[in-house]
């Protein structure tokens, strides 16, 4: 069986999916949809059909599944259209802009009996999964502290600056990754959150926060720390787990990588391109994207159990809603958390 995929979105993630396909069996991209760039994208990647509108793609092309790699405000409508057509769905994070949207998406997919993979690539990143498995085996005792940081100098596309489209700032963008990774290592969801948010480097571009620190309070007085930033040139991406008998660390930002040193004193040297530099050589594989796509195929074929679900995406979104409220109040907020706000950042912007 070959799963015929309709791809919605042609930017960074769409290209990552296409580069990942050579490492995935049983999947072909049969069509792509994007308002202005679908034709050029289809020509570049030799995709048979292209459309300006995802609805036309769903109606006119024989598909088994849809991959949603679009701005956040489109996830809801595309999911409902795909579910209504009986198509399986892979959707990038965050799941939706609101908890009401998330609940409607869940109901639609249950009603249509379709697979929905919440596309959290860190679930499939080999280094991170290796750390999780080592922690589960008890190699350092029961973890009491898990840290995950994903930080860089700013997003890759202008729509991220628009909180009406994005739903929030860096917490909603990169915090999805950190929160989910920490909870997987802990093996449970937190009981409460405490958050601090701020705008430091991009105050003229967005109403959203460009740096966030979220404390996740787990049972047994255990703690998770999620740090995320659009205000950190050079960036980082690491997972650290502390237990009473040791410590585990995985650094996606530096390895597996080739280390090189460039003399900062040479002509034309800049801080970003001199000193010790690390060049990752695993590409998309080290970040879990081919494995994520393969998992999607394997779940559709009934070979494996789903590892990252609609329910997971909703729980992560709920935690982020609570984190924005915590930052507004300046205090710890208990979970579960309910909200009727149209987007998570509304809680913080009310302060």
Q: How confident is the model at residue 351, as a pLDDT? A: 66
User: What pLDDT, on the 0 to 100 scale, is given for residue 129?
Assistant: 96
Distance of alpha carbon 316 from alpha carbon 167, whole angstroms? 14
pLDDT of residue 282: 65
Strands 88-92 and 3-8: unpaired
- Tell me which of 35-39, 177-181, 268-272 is least confident: 268-272
Domain locations in the chain? 3-122, 123-289+313-349
Q: Pick from 4, 38, 43: which is nearest to 21 by CA?
A: 4
Tell me how crowded residue 121 is: count the other CB atoms within 10 A of its CB: 22
The fraction of the chain above a pLDDT of 70, given in percent, is 96
Common-topology check for domains 3-122 and 123-289+313-349: no
Residue 256 pLDDT: 67
Q: For residues 282 and 126, what is the distance between their CA atoms, to the nearest angstrom?
A: 10
The pLDDT of residue 298 is 98
Tell me: the pLDDT tens digits for 209-267?
Answer: 999 999 999 999 999 999 999 999 888 999 999 999 999 999 998 766 667 777 787 77
Residue 265: the pLDDT is: 75
What does the pLDDT read at residue 280? 61
Spacing of C-alpha 310 from chain mean position: 13
The superfamily (CATH) of domain 3-122 is NAD(P)-binding Rossmann-like Domain (3.40.50.720)
Does residue 281 have a pLDDT over 60? Answer: no
Strands (E), 209-334: 211-218, 222-229, 236-243, 246-251, 257-262, 275-280, 333-334
Q: What is the pLDDT of residues 18-37, one digit of tens each?
A: 999 999 999 999 999 999 99
Q: What is the mean pLDDT of residues 61-82?
A: 98
Q: What is the pLDDT of residues 80-126, one digit of tens each?
A: 999 999 999 999 999 999 999 999 999 999 999 999 999 999 999 99
pLDDT value for 336: 98
123-289+313-349 has CATH 3.30.70.870 classification: no
Least confident of 143-152, 226-235, 267-276: 267-276
| Buried residues in 74-109 as b, exposed as e (16+ CB within 10 A) | bbbebbbbbbeeebbbbbbbbbbbbbebbeebbebb
pLDDT at 257: 65
Tell me the pTM.
Answer: 0.93
Q: Specify the pLDDT at position 235.
A: 87
């Amino acid at each position: 069986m070959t799963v015929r995929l309709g791809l919605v979105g042609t930017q960074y993630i769409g290209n990552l999916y296409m580069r990942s396909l050579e490492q995935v069996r049983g999947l072909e991209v049969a069509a792509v949809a994007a308002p202005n760039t679908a034709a050029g994208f289809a020509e570049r990647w030799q995709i048979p059909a292209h459309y300006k509108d995802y609805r036309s793609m769903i109606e006119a092309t024989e598909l088994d599944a849809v991959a949603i790699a679009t701005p956040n405000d489109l996830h809801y409508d595309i999911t409902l259209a795909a579910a209504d057509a009986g198509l399986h769905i892979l959707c990038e994070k965050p799941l939706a802009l609101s908890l009401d949207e998330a609940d409607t998406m869940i109901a639609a997919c249950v009603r249509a009996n379709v697979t929905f993979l919440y596309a959290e690539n860190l679930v499939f990143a080999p280094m991170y999964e290796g750390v999780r498995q080592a922690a589960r085996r008890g190699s350092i005792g029961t973890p009491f502290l898990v840290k995950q940081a994903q930080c860089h100098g700013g997003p890759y596309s202008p729509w991220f600056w628009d909180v009406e489209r994005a739903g929030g700032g860096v917490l909603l963008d990169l915090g999805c990754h950190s929160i989910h990774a920490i909870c997987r290592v802990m093996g449970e969801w937190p009981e409460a959150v405490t958050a601090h948010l701020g705008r430091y480097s991009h105050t003229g571009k967005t109403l959203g926060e460009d740096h966030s620190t979220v404390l996740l309070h787990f049972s047994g007085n255990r703690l998770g720390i999620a740090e995320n930033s659009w205000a950190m040139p050079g960036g980082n991406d690491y997972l650290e787990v502390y237990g009473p008998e040791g410590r585990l660390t995985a650094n996606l930002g530096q390895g597996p990588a080739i280390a090189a040193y460039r003399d900062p004193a040479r002509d034309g040297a800049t801080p970003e391109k001199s000193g010790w530099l690390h060049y990752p050589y695993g590409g998309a594989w080290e970040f879990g994207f081919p494995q994520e796509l393969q998992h999607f195929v394997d779940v559709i074929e009934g070979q494996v159990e789903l590892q990252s679900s609609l329910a997971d995406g909703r729980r992560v979104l709920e935690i982020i809603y609570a984190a924005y409220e915590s930052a507004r109040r300046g205090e710890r907020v208990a979970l579960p958390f309910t909200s009727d706000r149209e987007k998570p950042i509304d809680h913080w912007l009310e302060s």
